[in-house]
């Protein structure tokens, strides 16, 4: 159907996570609890790293940026989801939907690339320790930070370019609790096969390649560490294990959602909930509680300002 012969959709109606009143309240409480932990947890990491002159290694620089991305990512979906739990009609404007999509993929793409950068940092630190200070100098890791933001921006703008030209003339019901590419594309008043294919190559293939590349890189690191007798062997193994857990938790849902045809599956909403609300909480839990240096710095910060 041609756009000029159709009625443009001005808003989308979200179906939400569930229609069951018995389920909505406990899920609302659970999401609110997660959200109230996400923000303070990630901002505490940022404050700790910025206030402690001993946490100047590139790993902590990247960890602080990961906390910032997690905190920002949590703003995109969770607040509106909490409001919608209390609303009878869950409506989002077309522009609001597109804006949500843009920032969702900007920050999601940036975070995926940041994990790649952190894997590179760990490879140099463990496998090329004598070259570490030369390779990972401030100019290099600020350049890597700029590159991952540009990568996330290009990825997100590619999504926007594919969606914005599509005509939307109705229906306007999104079977989800937020705007995401698979559900939005299905509402277009045209054949979307080519667009879906391009989306799978853009997001799905990128997610899968990053995931496989990260697994290979950490596999190489673990093999190198396993055959080593250095004193830092246990610490290196612990750090790599943490990173691999985060990789599975972040990329697993992304692969499930974006590397298949855009058809609805019963598990879609649960996977999306994990990906957009629960995963950002895992950064402060996994990284902070397993990192002795950060925990020590947090205790000093607490004793200095609160105790």
Query: Which domains can be identified in the chain, with CATH numbers?
Result: 3-305 (1.20.1070.10)
For the ranges 53-57, 74-78, 205-209, 260-264, which has the lowest average pLDDT?
A: 260-264
- pLDDT range class, residue 229, cuts 50, 70, 90: low
Position 9 confidence tier, pLDDT thresholds 50, 70, 90? confident
Q: Percent of the chain, pLDDT > 90?
A: 11
- Residue range 69-96: mean pLDDT, rounded: 87
Complete edge-to-edge strand list for the sheet that includes strand 11-14: 91-93, 11-14, 173-174
- CA distances to 129, 225, 283, 285 from 290, rounded to whole Å, are 22, 19, 11, 8
pLDDT at 257 over 70: yes
User: Is 293 exposed, middle or buried (CB count within 10 Å of its CB: 0-12, 13-18, 19+)?
Assistant: middle
Paired strand residues for 14: 174
Q: 3-class DSSP state for residue 173? A: strand
Burial class from Cβ neighbours inside 10 Å (0-12, 13-18, 19+) for residue 275 reads: buried
Distance CA 203, CA 210 (A): 11
Q: What is the DSSP letter of 229?
A: -
Instruction: Give 87: exposed, middle or buried? Use CB within 10 Å, 0-12, 13-18, 19+.
Output: exposed
Across residues 44-52, what is the average pLDDT? 86
Q: Give pLDDT, residue 3.
A: 45
Tell me how far apart the alpha carbons of residues 114 and 120 are, in angstroms, rounded to a whole number: 10
- Count the alpha carbons within 13 Å of 193 in the hemisphere toward its beta carbon: 1
**Residue 118 CB neighbour total at 10 angstroms:** 22
Give the list of residues 6+ apart from residue 271 with CB closer than 8 angstroms, or none: 253, 256, 257
Mean pLDDT of the chain: 83
pLDDT at 202 (0 to 100): 81
266 contacts: CB under 8 Å, gap ≥ 6:
none
Measured distance between the N- and C-terminal CA atoms of the chain, rounded to whole angstroms? 66
- Alpha-carbon distance of 204 to 181, in angstroms, equals 11
* DSSP bridge partners of 93: 11
pLDDT, residue 193, reads: 86
Q: If you compute the radius of gyration of the chain from its CA atoms, what whole number of angstroms results?
A: 21
Instruction: Note whether 61 and 117 are within 8 A (CB).
Output: no
Of residues 249 and 2, the one with the higher pLDDT is 249
Give the Cα separation of 4 and 69 in Å (integer): 40
Nearest CA among 120, 77, 112 for reference residue 250: 112
Rounded Cα distance, 270 and 89, in Å: 21
pLDDT given at position 227: 66
> Residue 211 in 3-state DSSP?
helix
Alpha helices (H) along the chain:
21-51, 58-85, 94-127, 132-135, 138-164, 181-185, 193-199, 205-226, 233-258, 268-273, 279-282, 289, 292-305
3-state secondary structure of 137: coil
Give strand pairing partners of 91.
13
**Other Cβ atoms within 10 Å of 242 Cβ, number:** 15
The predicted structure's pLDDT at residue 207: 87
For residue 231, give both structure tokens.
């004193």
């Amino acid at each position: 159907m041609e756009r000029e012969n159709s009625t443009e959709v001005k808003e989308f109606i979200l179906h939400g996570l569930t229609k069951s009143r018995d389920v909505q309240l406990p899920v609302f409480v659970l999401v609110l609890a997660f959200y109230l932990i996400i923000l303070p947890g990630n901002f505490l990491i940022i404050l700790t790293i910025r206030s402690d002159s001993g946490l100047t290694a590139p790993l902590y620089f990247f960890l602080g940026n990961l906390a910032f991305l997690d905190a920002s990512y949590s703003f995109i979906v969770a607040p509106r989801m909490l409001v919608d739990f209390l609303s009878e009609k869950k409506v989002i404007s077309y522009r609001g939907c597109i804006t949500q999509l843009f920032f969702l993929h900007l920050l999601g793409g940036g975070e995926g690339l940041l994990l790649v950068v952190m894997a590179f940092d760990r490879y140099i630190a463990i496998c090329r320790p004598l070259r570490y200070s030369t390779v990972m100098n401030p100019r290099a890791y600020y350049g890597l930070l700029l590159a991952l933001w540009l990568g996330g921006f290009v990825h997100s703008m590619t999504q926007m370019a594919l969606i914005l030209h599509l005509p939307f003339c109705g229906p306007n019901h999104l079977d989800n609790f937020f705007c995401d590419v698979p559900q939005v594309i299905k509402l277009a008043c045209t054949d979307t096969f080519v667009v879906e294919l391009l989306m799978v190559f853009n997001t799905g293939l990128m997610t899968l390649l990053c995931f496989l590349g990260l697994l290979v890189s950490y596999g190489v690191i673990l093999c190198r560490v396993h055959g080593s007798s250095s004193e830092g062997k246990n610490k290196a193994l612990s750090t790599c294990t943490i990173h691999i857990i985060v990789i599975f938790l972040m990329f697993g849902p992304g692969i499930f959602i974006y590397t298949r045809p855009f058809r609805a599956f019963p598990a879609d909403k649960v996977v999306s909930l994990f990906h957009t609300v629960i995963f950002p909480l895992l950064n402060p839990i996994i990284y902070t509680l397993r990192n002795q240096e950060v925990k020590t710095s947090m205790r000093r910060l607490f004793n200095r300002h609160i105790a």
